[in-house]
Amino acid sequence: MATTAVNWSAIDSDPRFQSLHRRKSRFLWGLMAFSVVFYFLLPIGAAYFTDLFKAKLWGVINFGLIFALSQFVVAWGIAWYYARRASQFDALAEDIARDAQRIGRTR
Amino acid sequence: MKPKRILLSLGGAIIALGASPAFAQAVASEYRFLTFAVFGAIIAVTMFVTYLAAKRTKTAADFYAAGGGVSGLQNGWAIAGDYLSAASFLGIAGLISLYGYDGFMYSVGWLVAYITVLLVIAEPCRNIGKYTMGDILAFRNNPRVAKAFMALSTITVSTFYLTAQMVGGGVLVKTLIGIDYEISVATVGVLMMAYVLFGGMVATTWVQIIKAILLVVASLVMVAMVWGQYGFNLNGYLGAVVADPGVQAQVARLLGDAGRNMTPAELGQRFLEPGLLFKSPIDQISLGMALVLGTAGLPHILMRFFTVPTAQQARKSVIWAMAIIGGFYVLTLFLGTGAAVKVGAPAITEIDRGGNMAAPLLAQFLGGGKDSLLGNLMLAFVAAVAFATIVAVVAGLVLAAASAMSHDIWVGVVKGDHATSDEELRAARICSLIVGIVAIAIGILAKGQNVAHLVALAFAVAASANLPVVLLTLYWKRCNTGGVVAGLVVGTLAAIGLVLVSPNMTYPGQIRATQERAIKAADERIAKLNAELSTLSDATAIDRTKQAVAAAEKAKAGAEATIKSLGDATTSLVGLSEPLFPLRNPGLISIPLGFLAVVIGSLLYRDRRAEEMWDELYVRSNTGIGRAAAAAH
């Protein structure tokens, strides 16, 4: 490996990295949990809440159809929201990466 | 005993195919030249791209990962091209055309899967890996052991997927242009090998991009024609779908006795409600788990993230892929319902019982029908897109399996990571040749077999074995080589083992019982109809009754042929008379087992390297430090 000059454990315990790690983990796993739960509401709802799914909302269009279409909108929304937040994490990571060699030596 | 039985069932299937009247063909022979012209044009373009790509493929890094020089946007289209297999393009449109809402619901999981890829897999993999999934695991685990097991799992998953694609592709090309199955399979195989062998990842990427663009354009044109009539009003369009007598008749057929007391309007509306296809919600949830977690463990998809230069570009490529794939599935709602109205379920199932021909037949109708030039030109175009789809997906799969063989097993395990770029490039090409030839052989040997569930099995193995080990290697400090080996072995065996004892397999005893019931019912019906016949005097009524007798006799003959094809077998391939495991999709059980095996294996095994490398892996995966070194080879 060409990167032996970097002190990885020093970066790992650097407060900036710790804060990045904390914020990113909470954000990612929270969003992940939300998206999984939202998705499984579709097969569960279609099987056990058939009356709700059959309820007509607009002409022949029923709740089930709207809910299935909403899955697409929500998935795209999650992607958009993630991209926005990830660029903030990028800035923090870049900050750490720029100092990577120095963090290794000063500790 | 077992090989004999496989051969017997294979022989039975071939006889059944030969005995049935030749497959209905979609294209009339006088328009066959159009199909060949469009196919030829697409093959010529992709061959030219391969020629250009071959000049750029000089190192192993070019071959495996296009030298890391693909942009996020290009990679997004390539992921869509890699992922949207014939199963999703033709299969989902077909399911919607026959079963309405349930078919559309099925498509959702295929998009949601990319949230997992986007949030937790794509960027760390780009920062840690080099060419293969084995590289990711080798970073902190014992490289030889991790690469050997990961390569085996990669080859397993890719082979399942590949078999389904080769058989599906052979049948599809045979149906669409009427050439022999064996020649269809060989054509797909030879073309795919040309792309992979000469152009490596560069050519594969561009073939996938071209295919994805063709697919989206073809779908947009068809949807504009179907939906445009209604001024792009969703309610007006779906109102026309539920009011269509053909759709109402299809729902009545599906519901049987349950639909007898429903009005035509109720029957039509039922098409937009859940429950026409899926009867077991637990099985649906199990499949959903395999899709949502399995996509992030598919080697041919993960491999695409090594073709972009940075984690940011990897992220961008997933977002583009989600836009394209999701947009495409929304379009299939219109393709499927459009085919249900314009073509109708009887005509769709006449050519292919699974509904796979719904989209091509819709194209033919929109162009003016069976006897028109434009109709057959549109059919030829959609058929060529379907063909490009299979070739592009197969190329991606072969590249993934060949990389695992050459980079992980030959260079990583056998040569201890000591090989020059030229040696590795040669090894990669030899492995591609081997995998390609094996793929053609499997495709021809599996002729007539029902291989549709192999795609679901590939997703199940990916979700139960590959995803747990990659995820925990990247995110769990205690994970180590012991956990990786345990997870890969247990996850793979659990998924395959559960399928072997599931209702997916053939249970001769059960089939015989069902068919005997059908024969008895047919006999009773024939007796009843014949009794009626003697009392009838009206000519049209006599005619109708005679037709009903003929239909019942045909059903009886079909049931007898099915029983005959079972031979003297009484148990399934693994010796069971009935399924031990009630679900068709093993994910619900095998995915937790895979994760559990990684955890237990890691806790029982002590691996200093895995602990020491954790800081480096975690910092690298989050910051991309040192990534340049990995990308510069």
Secondary structure class of B70 (helix, strand, coil): coil
The confidence band for B26, taking pLDDT boundaries of 50, 70 and 90, is low
Task: Say which residue the tokens 């449109």 belong to.
Answer: B93
**In chain B, whose CA is at the least distance from the CA of A54?**
B273
Task: Say which residue the tokens 């074995």 belong to.
Answer: B465
pLDDT for B27 equals 64
pLDDT for A105 equals 61
pTM score: 0.87
Of A28, A56, A75, which is closest to B326 when you measure between CB atoms? A75
Of A43, A54, A100, which is closest to B284 when you measure between CB atoms? A43
pLDDT tops 70 at residue B517: yes
pLDDT tops 50 at residue A13: yes
Q: Over range B173-184, report the average pLDDT.
A: 83
Nearest to B178 by CA among B370, B326, B30, B335: B30
Q: How far is A8 from chain B (nearest CA, A)?
A: 5
Which residues are registered as beta bridge partners of A58?
A61
pLDDT tops 80 at residue B405: yes
Helix B234-243, helix B311-342: angle, nearest 10? 40
Give me Rg for the CA atoms of chain A: 22
CB–CB of A72 and B281 under 8 A?
A: no
Nearest to B130 by CA among B396, B315, B308, B319: B308
Size of chain B in residues = 633
Q: Which residues from chain A sit within 8 angstroms of residue B102, using beta carbons?
A: 46
* Number of H-type helices and E-type strands within chain B: 29, 0
Evaluate whether residue A65 is within a structural domain: yes
CB–CB of A97 and B624 under 8 A?
A: yes
pLDDT for B627 equals 67
Q: Over range B341-354, report the average pLDDT.
A: 86
Instruction: Spell out the residues 6+ positions from residue A83 whose beta carbon is closer than 8 angstroms to its own.
Output: B315, B316, B319
Evaluate whether residue A12 is within a structural domain: no
Q: The domain containing residue A47 runs over which residues? A: 31-102
pLDDT for B536 equals 80
Buried b (16+ CB within 10 A) or exposed e, B310-329: bbbbbbbbbbbbbbbbbbbb
Evaluate whether residue A8 is within a structural domain: no
Which residues are registered as beta bridge partners of A61?
A58
Evaluate whether residue A7 is within a structural domain: no
Q: Which residues of B, range 135-154, sit inside 8 Å of A by Cβ?
A: none
CB–CB of A50 and B315 under 8 A?
A: no
CA distance readout (Å), B190 to A10, B66, B230, B438: 53, 21, 44, 12
Q: Which residues from chain A sit within 8 angstroms of residue B620, using beta carbons?
A: 8
Alpha helices, H only, B20-142? 32-56, 60-65, 72-83, 86, 93-99, 101-116, 122-128, 133-138
pLDDT for B564 equals 83
Secondary structure class of B502 (helix, strand, coil): coil
Secondary structure class of B179 (helix, strand, coil): coil
Superfamily of domain B60-507+571-632 in CATH is Sodium/glucose cotransporter (1.20.1730.10)
Evaluate whether residue A44 is within a structural domain: yes
Q: Which residues from chain B sit within 8 angstroms of residue A80, using beta carbons?
A: 319
What CA–CA distance (Å, rounded) separates B159 from A66? 38
**In chain B, whose CA is at the least distance from the CA of A85?**
B119
Q: Which residues from chain A sit within 8 angstroms of residue B288, using beta carbons?
A: 39-40, 43
Evaluate whether residue A26 is within a structural domain: no
The percent of residues in chain B predicted with pLDDT above 70, rounded, is 94
CB–CB of A3 and B626 under 8 A?
A: yes
- Strands A61-62 and A56-58, by their bridges, are antiparallel
Q: Which residues of B, range 200-219, sit inside 8 Å of A by Cβ?
A: none
What CA–CA distance (Å, rounded) separates B163 from B168? 8
Token representation of residue B477: 């400090």
Evaluate whether residue A49 is within a structural domain: yes
Evaluate whether residue A39 is within a structural domain: yes
Of B236, B292, B322, which is closest to A39 when you measure between CB atoms? B292
CB–CB of B323 and A76 under 8 A?
A: yes
Give B42-78 pLDDT, tens digit per residue: 889 999 999 999 988 889 899 999 988 899 999 999 9
CB–CB of A48 and B625 under 8 A?
A: no
Of A40, A46, A93, which is closest to B623 when you measure between CB atoms? A93
B266 touches chain A (CB under 8 A): no
Give B113-152 pLDDT, tens digit per residue: 999 999 999 999 999 888 999 999 998 999 999 999 999 9
Q: What's the total number of domains in chain A?
A: 1
Q: Over range B263-289, report the average pLDDT.
A: 90
